[in-house]
Amino acid sequence: MTLKSLSIPLFQRRTSKLPFNKEGKEGIRFAERRTLNDERILRSDGFTLIEISIFIVLLGIFMAGVMAPFLTSVRQSDQPEIVASAVFLAAERLEQLQTSSYSSIISDASPVSLTGNYSAFSRQVIVSLVDANMAASGSDVGYKKVVVTVFNSRLPGSGISITSLFTNYAG
């Protein structure tokens, strides 16, 4: 025994065959009967509360997905300003060191916190002795490699670094 499913399109009008015509003679006449769905569609003037509710829920889900990248970009919109400030602070420290004597250029033991408008930043100077080829040197041959690194919680883990070479040039 097999089961067949009957599918009737929602908007199709159903017809019934009457075995006799009006005079009682044998014949076939089609009498149209409108279904309940046909009547509801013909009387439909707007949307139902359920349709509106479903639309609002779907719109909310769609907007959450669309707005996520925008919110991320707004949160990170001050990133270029922080990077520019870090580069400025590193360059400023290198300029201060240029006015110092060669022997007074030494490393900081740990990052130094800054004050004022730059209190969210810290800065560290690392000095290493190098030779003329920028290779590490065990003794002072007249070249110091100076790396100034500026840190901020909003910068990548290693901060922003600027490297410079100082020489013991007496001229």
pLDDT for the residue 74: 79
Non-local (6+) Cβ contacts of 85 within 8 A are 118, 121, 152
pLDDT in tens, 105-142: 999 888 999 999 999 999 999 999 999 888 998 888 99
More confident site: 77 or 43: 77
Domain extent listing, the chain: 26-75, 79-167
**pLDDT score at 171:** 54
159 vs 171: CA distance, rounded Å:
36
Q: Is 142 helix (H, G, I), strand (E, B) or coil?
A: coil
147 close to 159: Cβ distance less than 8 angstroms: no
| Whole-number Å distance between alpha carbons of 8 and 11 | 8
The first and second tokens of residue 109, run together, are 């033991």
164: left (phi over 0), alpha (psi -120 to 50) or beta: beta
Q: How many helices (H) and strands (E) does the chain have?
A: 3, 6
**Interval 19-32: pLDDT, tens:** 555 555 554 444 44
If phi > 0 it is left, if psi is from -120 to 50 it is alpha, else beta; for residue 106 that is: beta
Residues 46-99 have pLDDT tens digits of 788 999 999 999 999 999 888 888 888 877 777 888 899 999 999 999 999 999
Partner residues linked to 29 by β-bridges? 18
